């Protein structure tokens, strides 16, 4: 049975490109949104429709969402010190996209956030980004659209396929391969138990792989 279209936001980024690849491996048709034409080659592949536009522009966002049944966001402000830009990308844009997704019939919205969003002052260099990411999470939670929020630890470019620990709240921080983050985000569309959950993920040698059955079923809420 053919799978429904997935819109990937932030598709040309280091994590976003891996998300596109993971979704294609699982047979999803993908619409990859990129900021400008020069980014097209980073995601252009069989089964991938590339759309050029500004995700912060409502007209472009509506055009990208048209016909998509799933949204996966790998958007990020990339460490900028500009507070206005951080708020725009991490909160305002996510909030507006969530409302549009609900309005336009999106079935599920997967958001890549970050560990530490509930304790931003513990990580001073990232505190402003983490605070705005948490605002974005809350906006998605309150939008009425089904969601999964994935909070990875520190991101690496190491190959994926190792163990992935997952929980609502993990004990301490850790690192995780972008490949494994992308796979977890793809699994959030494949596993019904991912619906309306927030999960933290890090690599852990004694845990199973990111694509294991029941990945999200193990995440219990009190």
**The pLDDT value given to residue 123:** 83
User: Where do the structural domains in the chain lie, given as residue ranges?
Assistant: 6-203
pTM as predicted = 0.96
**The pLDDT value given to residue 154:** 95
SS (H, E, C) the chain: CCCCCEEEECCCCHHHHHHHHHHHHCCCCEEEEECCHHHHHHHCCCCEEEEECCCCCHHHHHHHHCCCCEEEECCCCCCCCCHHHHHHHHHHHHHHHHHHHHHCCCCEEEEECCCCCCCHHHCHHHHHHHHHHHHHHHHHHCCCCCEEEEEECEEECCCCCCCEEEECCCCCCCEEEHHHHHHHHHHHHHCHHHCCEEEEEEECCCCCCCCCCCCCCCCCCC
In order along its 222 residues, the chain shows pLDDT tens digits of 679 999 999 999 999 999 999 999 999 999 999 999 999 999 999 999 999 999 999 999 999 999 999 999 999 987 667 899 999 999 999 999 999 999 999 999 999 999 999 998 888 888 999 999 999 999 999 999 999 999 999 999 999 999 999 999 999 899 999 999 999 999 999 999 999 999 999 999 999 999 999 999 989 875
**The pLDDT value given to residue 222:** 57
Torsion of CA 85, 91, 97, 100, to 10 degrees: -120
**The pLDDT value given to residue 215:** 97
**The pLDDT value given to residue 9:** 98
CB atoms within 10 A of CB 212: 15
Distances (CA, A) of 181 to 4, 34, 127: 21, 20, 22
**The pLDDT value given to residue 1:** 63
**The pLDDT value given to residue 51:** 96
Q: Which CATH class is domain 6-203?
A: alpha beta
């Amino acid at each position: 049975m053919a799978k429904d279209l997935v819109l990937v936001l932030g598709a040309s980024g280091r994590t976003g490109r891996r998300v596109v690849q993971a979704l294609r491996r699982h047979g999803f048709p993908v619409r990859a949104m990129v900021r400008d034409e020069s980014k097209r080659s980073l995601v252009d592949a069989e089964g991938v429709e590339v759309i050029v536009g500004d995700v912060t522009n409502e007209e472009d966002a509506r055009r990208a969402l048209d016909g998509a049944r799933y949204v996966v966001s790998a958007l990020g402000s990339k460490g900028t010190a500009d507070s206005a830009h951080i708020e725009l990308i991490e909160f305002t844009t996510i909030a507006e996209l969530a409302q549009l997704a609900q309005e336009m019939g999106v079935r599920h919205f997967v958001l890549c956030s970050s560990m530490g969003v509930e304790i931003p002052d513990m990580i001073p260099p990232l505190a402003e980004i983490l605070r705005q990411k948490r605002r974005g999470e809350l906006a998605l939670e309150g939008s009425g659209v089904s969601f999964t929020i994935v909070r990875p630890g520190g991101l690496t470019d190491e190959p994926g396929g190792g163990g992935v620990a997952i929980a609502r709240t993990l004990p301490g921080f850790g690192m995780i391969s972008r490949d494994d983050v992308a796979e977890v985000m793809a699994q959030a569309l494949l596993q019904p138990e991912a619906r309306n959950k927030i999960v933290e993920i890090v690599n852990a040698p004694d845990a199973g792989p990111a694509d294991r059955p029941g990945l999200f079923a193990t995440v219990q809420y009190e």
